[in-house]
């Protein structure tokens, strides 16, 4: 299927590893020019080099923290300076913040909202004027199925992701007149450095394999974690010409996780 992504310009936040890295790689493989950001510079530069060498695509690496408005402005300006336009924004940067009512302080909850929800708001606000001028664009929010279901110990993420789903819907409605399509891709359990950290924090002495299998058996009908490359394809599709009539959608990529109708 020809996706029509050749020459398009994409920003992928949190593109240094995990899902963001796979998404940036996929978009570059389809011929898009890609700007990636993260806080850590070394990993980011290594990933940019790897994407370049594997795809022969153009990649820009910008050290930026999505909780800092000036960093986002810098990311967007450097992208426009280098690639002259912005067609696609993938709001992917995020992290896990385990906890429950007793352990989550207001500060922890606010911090988590800042990284996940407010970063989507800020990055969208920064790119929309360019997309409007160009006559359209795509915003894809990487979200979580647990925005619509409860999983014990993840109260901050559930609260945050439910709000991110609502934000996606509201933004899609607001920007439809500008031909800017906004969608949400909801992840279940995908093997990334984030989950390696969760295992170390919550694994309670279980081997890595046992921990991952127990989580998968408890929550995922397909009985396994996904791989980042099982997510990146749908993101490239949503960014493409072939998805020109899809906006305000919420698509689960989660091995059947999320037993809601
Ligand atoms: N993996 C899953 O099963 C799963 C499930 C549901 C939702 N998600 C969501 O999917 C997204 C990607 O997750 P992942 O599993 O790939 O996580 P990951 O492996 O931890 O990668 C997260 C990426 O985001 C960057 N990042 C984190 N905080 C940032 C900040 N303040 N500013 C800029 N970049 C930042 C990280 O780089 P630095 O640390 O160097 O900044 C890294 O590049 C996240 O939003 C996550 O919540 C993942």
DSSP class of residue 13 equals E
Query: Which residue's C-alpha comes closest to atom 20 of ligand 1?
Result: 194
Residue 183 — pLDDT band, cuts 50, 70, 90? Answer: very high
Residues 224-233 have a mean pLDDT of 98
Outline where DSSP puts E strands in 43-107: 59-63, 88-91
Dump pLDDT digits (tens) for 60-109: 999 999 999 999 999 999 999 999 999 999 999 999 898 999 999 999 99
With a cut of 90, say whether residue 203 has pLDDT above it.
Answer: no
CB of 14 within 6 A of ligand 1: the answer is yes
pLDDT at 19 over 90: yes
Question: 9-188+227-251 — its CATH code?
Answer: 3.40.50.720
Q: Is the CB of 19 under 6 A from ligand 1?
A: yes
231 lines ligand 1 (CB under 6 A): no
Confidence of residue 20 (pLDDT cuts 50, 70, 90): very high
Contact (CB, 8 A) for 199 and 208:
yes
Cβ(45) – ligand 1 distance below 6 Å: no
255 lines ligand 1 (CB under 6 A): no
* Span between the terminal Cα atoms of the chain, in Å: 30
Please determine, for residue 158, whether its predicted confidence score (pLDDT) is greater than 90. yes
Q: For position 204, what pLDDT does the model report?
A: 82
Judge if the beta carbon of residue 254 lies within 6 A of ligand 1: no
Q: Of 171, 178, 109, 96, which Cα lies nearest the Cα of 141?
A: 171
Rounded distance from Cα 93 to ligand 1 centre (Å): 4
At 201 the pLDDT is: 85
Q: Where in the chain is the domain with CATH 3.40.50.720?
A: 9-188+227-251
What percentage of the chain exceeds 90 in pLDDT?
94
Distance 231 CA to ligand 1 centre (A): 14
Q: List the one residue out of 78, 69, 177, 162 whose CA is nearest residue 124.
A: 69
Using the mean position of ligand 1's atoms as its centre, give its distance from the Cα of residue 92 in Å: 6
Dihedral sign of CA atoms 204, 208, 210, 215 in order:
positive
Q: Quick one: average pLDDT of 20-29? A: 98
Question: What are the CA-CA distances from residue 242 to residues 47, 88, 102, 135, 238 (Å)?
Answer: 28, 14, 46, 17, 8
């Amino acid at each position: 299927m020809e996706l029509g992504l050749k020459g398009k310009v994409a920003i992928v936040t949190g593109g240094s590893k995990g899902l963001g890295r796979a998404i940036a790689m996929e978009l570059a493989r389809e011929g898009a020019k890609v700007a990636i950001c993260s806080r850590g510079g070394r990993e980011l530069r290594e990933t940019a080099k790897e994407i370049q060498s594997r795809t022969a695509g153009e990649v820009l690496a910008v050290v930026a923290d999505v909780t800092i408005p000036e960093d986002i402005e810098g990311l967007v300006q450097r992208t426009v300076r280098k690639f002259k336009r912005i067609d696609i924004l993938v709001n992917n940067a995020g992290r896990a913040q385990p906890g429950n009512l007793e352990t989550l302080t207001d500060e922890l909850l606010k911090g988590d909202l800042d990284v996940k929800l407010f970063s989507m708001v800020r990055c969208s606000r920064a790119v929309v004027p360019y997309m409007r001028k160009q006559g359209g664009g795509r915003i894809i929010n990487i979200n979580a199925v647990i925005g619509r279901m409860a999983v014990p110990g993840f109260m901050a993420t559930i609260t945050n992701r439910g709000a991110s789903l609502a934000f996606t819907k509201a933004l899609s409605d607001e920007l439809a007149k500008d031909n800017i399509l906004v969608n949400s891709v909801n992840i279940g359990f995908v093997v990334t450095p984030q989950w390696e950290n969760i295992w170390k924090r919550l694994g309670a002495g279980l081997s890595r394999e046992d921990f991952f299998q127990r989580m998968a058996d408890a929550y995922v009908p397909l009985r396994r974690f996904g791989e980042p490359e099982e997510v990146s394809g749908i993101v490239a599709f949503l960014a493409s010409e072939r998805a020109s009539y899809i906006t305000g959608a919420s698509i689960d990529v989660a091995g059947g996780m999320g037993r809601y109708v």
